[in-house]
């Protein structure tokens, strides 16, 4: 069977044509003037662990983002977010979340759901925004 697989790899050099998924764990779309989360990200929803979307103009997060079950770091500072949907609690492996420097009244729904998953959120209550990250190892 190994010989058959090696032969397939030699004959079909492109992973997508061999039916294999590409393993991408980190994507960085920082400073790209994005207004939406790029759809290409969802191609790697099974393997993506870190996603950087810093300094864009993203106003809302698509529901499909919360299917990225391996995601443990989500960096969204300096965007135009005003709310985080309840489905953010679906990111069960999320350990770090940065949504600093976003909309003036960023509302985090289901704050208790995230805490229940043993995460710590640092929130600047004077500005009503989350200004840091949370980490499960800092209970």
Instruction: Read off the pTM.
Output: 0.69
Q: What is the pLDDT of residue 41?
A: 94
Q: What is the pLDDT of residue 94?
A: 92
57 closest CA partner among 82, 84, 39:
82
Residue 15 has pLDDT above 80, yes or no: no
Task: Dump pLDDT digits (tens) for 64-99.
Answer: 999 999 999 999 999 999 888 888 889 999 999 998
**What domains can you pick out in the chain, each with its CATH number?**
24-130 (3.80.10.10)
Mean pLDDT computed over 26-44? 96
More confident residue, 85 or 9: 85
Question: What are residue 97's phi and psi, to 5 degrees?
Answer: -135, 125
């Amino acid at each position: 069977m190994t010989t058959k697989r090696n032969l397939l790899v030699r004959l079909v050099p492109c992973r997508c044509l061999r039916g294999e998924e590409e393993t991408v764990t980190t994507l960085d779309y920082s400073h790209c003037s994005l207004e939406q989360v790029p759809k290409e990200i969802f191609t790697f929803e099974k393997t993506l662990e870190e996603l950087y979307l810093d300094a864009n103009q993203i106003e809302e997060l698509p529901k499909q983002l919360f299917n990225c079950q391996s995601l443990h770091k989500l960096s969204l500072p300096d965007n135009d977010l005003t709310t985080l949907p309840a489905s953010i609690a679906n990111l069960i492996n999320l350990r770090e979340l940065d949504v600093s420097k976003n909309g003036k009244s960023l509302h985090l729904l289901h704050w208790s759901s995230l805490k229940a998953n043993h995460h710590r959120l640092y929130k600047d209550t004077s500005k009503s925004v989350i200004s840091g990250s949370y980490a499960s190892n800092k209970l």
